């Protein structure tokens, strides 16, 4: 029987999104929700991870309860098939974030070699601090020399060699490092682990499901403590370490009388340079000559988060808002780099005057205009793109423009340096608040949107439930827009928190939900956990902390969730990965990993039930530390 079509109120929490879905329907434009409806019901073999097409003896579909189809042609059973698929899923996610990091390493190396004048060191103090942290001498060296040496060291983190340990492994509590070594999942090199996973999951190599799952954990750790952490720290060094500030969020950040440019993707290398051009007085005057009041830059997804954190650029929305921004009719140009960019955006942009411009040699989009950025030409290309946006503005049909409601205010910019700075430079005040119970624990709410779930419903309600229980929330990525639109990223939201957390937030003038960056910046969260664990002399798994990806969809999110668990952090998912066809892999994820790494996953789409389970875990960890 066909599933009944969901009404608009079932698709999203937000009025701005609902208005644009209605407009899209009226204008005959297909959205992500329409395409999801066309794809359902989904293939049960695919949903449970029981399909295999890794060789041309197949493809195979495994039916564990069937005498004839319980094994693939090669003899792989359900457990092995699911583990292979999941291992490759995690490897793709780790590769994506880590390749982002590689781009930043190359940019840092270019600065060090004097090969670029477009990019410079914005935070010299952090450059020197990070260099010292990973064992480099900074005495009698200028910033360029240090940048060159640091880039060379991080380049080695991507390969394999004699060190066999990531540079930032030094941040990991000793107990956790010893556990990784004992279990055999200590990450060695980013590319090493990803390539080894692809090798292990080739037919005729690793045929033990548990072995493959453990290497998946190792691969994810090479992302969290390697590629993503490198990306975060270099971004701070090159573009500036974020500090708290105010900005705005939702579709109301678009301006009818301005040239509107949206940046989308994940790389600050592109978006920072675009912003510099858009703020150039020459182009502002050119926009005014074209009839606009000025140039307005706004962000989407994680590129938006990068500019939000460092430059206060407003956020138009998250993953499920990307199509709807174009439907407003007010977007003159969308500039993209890579990751989470739906190919449908090109099609929808062609329904309006919107220019869709790709910038990365790794991410071409059929029908887009391609303007390739690199560290030698970035400002020149950014200038070119701004000119294109101004020209597009002159072609805008103002009768088709509909910008719903005004924007919401939110506070952003909580890097670890900013958080510790607010605490006087050390984690001690936070530790004392945790001991006293004013802050009972902390949870990172991260990740994407998934059209299978009501947009931002789980994000928002989970955060509200946690802060009521005096649990501090840190957010990144697409969760940022959700929690910002809900008003939870404002100091005034402390009134919705429990008495203990409310008092702490009011004393510091901060919200009960802190925005700490883009999805690569989940590395800030695990680093902060390590700082707390090292200060207490315990393992991360002993802390009253948890993580949640309530509406996740991507391979990257699977890698993030797994590196959180492998780091010792209890992790909630709103939807299961494609592993439920294997009892062995499912049981390992939902409990068995506790015996291996001290943490595991839970899967719960109901935010209120998820809050109960997270609360129980945090209380158990408090009890384990002798706290009430």
Q: What pLDDT, in 10s, does the model give residues 463-504?
A: 999 999 999 999 999 999 999 999 999 999 999 999 999 999
Angle, helices 78-113/209-222, rounded to nearest 10 degrees = 20
CA distance 320 to 250: 12
**Residue range 555-595, pLDDT digits in tens:** 999 999 999 999 999 999 999 999 999 999 999 999 999 99
Q: 348-401 pLDDT, tens per residue? A: 999 999 999 999 999 999 999 999 999 999 999 999 999 999 999 999 999 999
Is 572 annotated as a binding-site member? no
As a whole number of angstroms, the distance between CA 290 and CA 286 comes to 6
The answer to the question of whether 519 is labelled as a binding residue is yes
pLDDT in tens, 31-46: 999 999 999 999 999 9
Tell me whether residue 340 is annotated as binding. yes
Give the closest residue to 477 by CA, choosing from 548, 562, 376, 575.
548
Q: For residues 194 and 232, what is the distance between their CA atoms, to the nearest angstrom?
A: 20
Mean pLDDT on 526-534: 98
For CA atoms 395, 251, 101, 338, the dihedral sign is negative
Confidence band (pLDDT; 50, 70, 90) for 5?
confident
- Output helix, strand, coil percentages for the chain, rounded to the nearest 5: 55, 10, 35
Nearest to 526, CA basis, from 168, 190, 174, 237: 168
Q: Is 55 annotated as a binding residue?
A: yes
pLDDT at 3: 61
Residues contacting 619, CB < 8 A, separation 6+: 440, 544
Q: What is the CA radius of gyration of the chain?
A: 24
Residue 208 token pair? 């033990």
Question: What pLDDT, on a 0 to 100 scale, did the predictor assign at position 615?
Answer: 98
74 assigned ligand-binding residue: yes
Annotated binding-site residue? 301: no
Residue 601 — φ and ψ, nearest 5°? -95, 155
Residue 162's pLDDT is what? 55
| Contact status, residue 123 vs residue 253, Cβ threshold 8 Å | no
At residue 127, what are phi and psi to the nearest 5 degrees?
Answer: -55, -50
pLDDT over threshold 80, residue 505: yes
Rounded CA gap, 109 and 150, in Å?
Answer: 8
Residue 164 has a pLDDT of: 80
CA-CA-CA-CA torsion sign (250, 253, 259, 263): negative
pLDDT at 161: 73
Check whether 2 has a pLDDT greater than 80.
no
Among candidates 46, 82, 79, 88, which has minimal Cα distance to 559?
88
Tokens encoding 194: 């990803």
Query: For 240-268, what is the mean pLDDT?
Result: 98
d(CA 31, CA 21): 8
pLDDT digits (tens, 9 = 90+) for 293-313: 999 999 999 999 999 999 999
**Quick check: helix, strand or coil at residue 459?**
helix
Confidence band, pLDDT 50/70/90 cuts, at residue 207: very high
190 by DSSP, 3-state: which? helix
Q: Which residue has the tokens 């050390």?
A: 426
Of 300, 306, 231, 241, the closest CA to residue 268 belongs to 306
Q: What are phi and psi of 316, to 5 degrees?
A: -80, -30
Strands 408-412 vs 245-249: parallel, antiparallel or unpaired: antiparallel
Token pair in block for residue 399 = 């009768």
Give the model confidence (pLDDT) of 416-469 as tens digits: 999 999 999 999 999 999 999 999 999 999 989 999 999 999 999 999 999 999
What is the pTM assigned to this prediction?
0.97
Residue 575 and residue 561 in contact, taking contact as beta carbons nearer than 8 Å: no
| 3-state SS, residue 298 | strand
Residue 163 reports pLDDT greater than 90: no
266 is in an annotated binding site: yes
* Three-state DSSP string of 503-562: HHHHHHCCCCEEEEECHHHHHHHHHHHHHHHHHHCCCHHHCCEEEEECCCCCHHHHHHHH
| 351 is annotated as contributing to ligand binding | no
The whole-number average pLDDT for the span 194-222 is 98
User: Closest Cα to residue 563, out of 575, 554, 571, 574?
Assistant: 571
Residue whose C-alpha is closest to residue 556's, from 572, 525, 577: 577
Domains of the chain: 78-239 (1.20.1270.30), 251-395 (3.40.50.2030), 411-625 (3.40.50.2030)
Q: How far apart are CA 52 and CA 478, in angstroms?
A: 31
The residue count of the chain comes to 628
Asked if 52 and 84 touch (Cβ cutoff 8 Å), the reply is yes
Residue 517, helix vs strand vs coil: strand
Residues 6, 457: Cα–Cα separation, whole Å: 15
Average pLDDT over every residue of 50-70: 96
- Known binding residue 505? Answer is no
> For residue 1, what pLDDT band results from cuts at 50, 70 and 90?
very low
Mean pLDDT of the chain: 97
DSSP, collapsed to helix, strand or coil, labels residue 443 as strand
């Amino acid at each position: 029987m066909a599933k009944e079509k969901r009404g608009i109120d079932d698709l999203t929490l937000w009025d701005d999104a609902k208005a644009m879905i209605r407009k899209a329907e009226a204008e005959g434009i297909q959205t992500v929700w329409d395409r999801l409806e066309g794809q359902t019901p989904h293939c049960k073999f695919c949903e449970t991870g029981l399909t295999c097409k890794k060789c041309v003896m197949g493809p195979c579909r495994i039916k564990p309860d069937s005498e004839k189809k319980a094994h693939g042609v090669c003899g792989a059973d359900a457990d092995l098939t699911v583990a292979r698929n999941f291992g490759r899923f995690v490897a793709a996610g780790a590769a994506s974030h880590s390749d982002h990091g590689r781009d930043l390493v190359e940019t840092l190396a270019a600065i060090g070699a004097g090969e670029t004048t477009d990019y410079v060191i914005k935070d010299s103090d952090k450059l020197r601090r990070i260099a010292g942290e990973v064992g480099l001498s900074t005495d009698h060296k200028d910033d360029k020399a240090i940048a060159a040496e640091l880039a060379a060291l991080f380049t080695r983190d991507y390969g394999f060699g004699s060190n066999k340990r990531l540079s930032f492994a030094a941040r990991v509590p000793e107990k956790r490092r010893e556990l990784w070594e004992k279990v055999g999942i200590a990450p060695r090199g980013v590319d090493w682990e990803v390539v080894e996973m692809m090798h292990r999951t080739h037919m005729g190599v690793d045929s033990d499901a548990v072995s493959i799952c453990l290497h998946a954990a190792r691969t994810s750790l090479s992302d969290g403590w390697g590629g993503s952490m490198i990306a975060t720290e270099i971004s701070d060094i090159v573009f500036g370490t974020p500090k708290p500030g105010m900005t705005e969020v939702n579709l109301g950040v678009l301006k009818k009388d301005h040239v509107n440019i949206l940046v989308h993707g994940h790389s600050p290398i592109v978006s920072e340079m675009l912003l510099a051009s858009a703020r150039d007085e020459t182009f502002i005057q050119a926009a005014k000559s074209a009839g606009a009041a000025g140039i307005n830059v706004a962000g989407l997804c994680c590129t938006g988060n990068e500019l939000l954190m460092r430059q206060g650029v407003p956020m138009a929305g998250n993953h499920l808002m990307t199509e709807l921004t174009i439907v407003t009719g007010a977007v003159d140009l969308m500039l993209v780099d890579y990751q989470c960019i739906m190919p449908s955006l090109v099609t929808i942009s062609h329904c309006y005057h919107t220019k869709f411009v790709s910038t990365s040699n790794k991410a071409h989009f059929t029908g887009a205009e391609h303007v390739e950025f690199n560290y030698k030409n970035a400002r020149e290309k950014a200038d070119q793109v701004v000119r294109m946006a101004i020209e597009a503005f002159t072609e805008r049909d103002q009768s088709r423009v509909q910008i719903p409601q005004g924007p919401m205010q939110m506070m952003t910019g909580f890097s670890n340096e900013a958080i510790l700075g607010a605490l006087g430079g050390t984690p001690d005040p936070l530790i004392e608040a945790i001991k006293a119970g004013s802050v009972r624990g902390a949870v990172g709410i991260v990740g994407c949107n998934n059209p299978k779930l009501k947009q931002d419903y789980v994000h928002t309600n989970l955060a509200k439930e946690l802060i009521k229980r005096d649990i501090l929330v840190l957010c990144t990525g697409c969760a940022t827009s959700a929690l910002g639109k809900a008003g939870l990223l404002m100091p005034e939201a402390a009134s919705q928190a429990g008495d203990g957390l409310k008092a702490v937030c009011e004393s510091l003038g901060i919200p009960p939900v802190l925005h700490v960056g883009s999805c690569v910046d989940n590395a800030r969260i695990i680093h902060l956990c390590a700082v707390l664990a090292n200060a207490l002399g315990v393992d991360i798994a002993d802390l009253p902390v948890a993580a949640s990806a309530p509406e996740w969809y991507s391979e990257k999110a699977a890698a993030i969730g797994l590196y959180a668990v492998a780091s010792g952090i209890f992790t909630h998912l709103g939807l299961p990965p494609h592993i439920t066809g294997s009892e062995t892999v499912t049981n390992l994820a939902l409990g068995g990993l506790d015996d291996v790494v001290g943490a595991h996953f839970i899967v719960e789409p109901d935010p209120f039930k998820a809050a109960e389970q997270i609360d129980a875990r945090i209380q158990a960890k408090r009890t384990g530390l002798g706290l009430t």
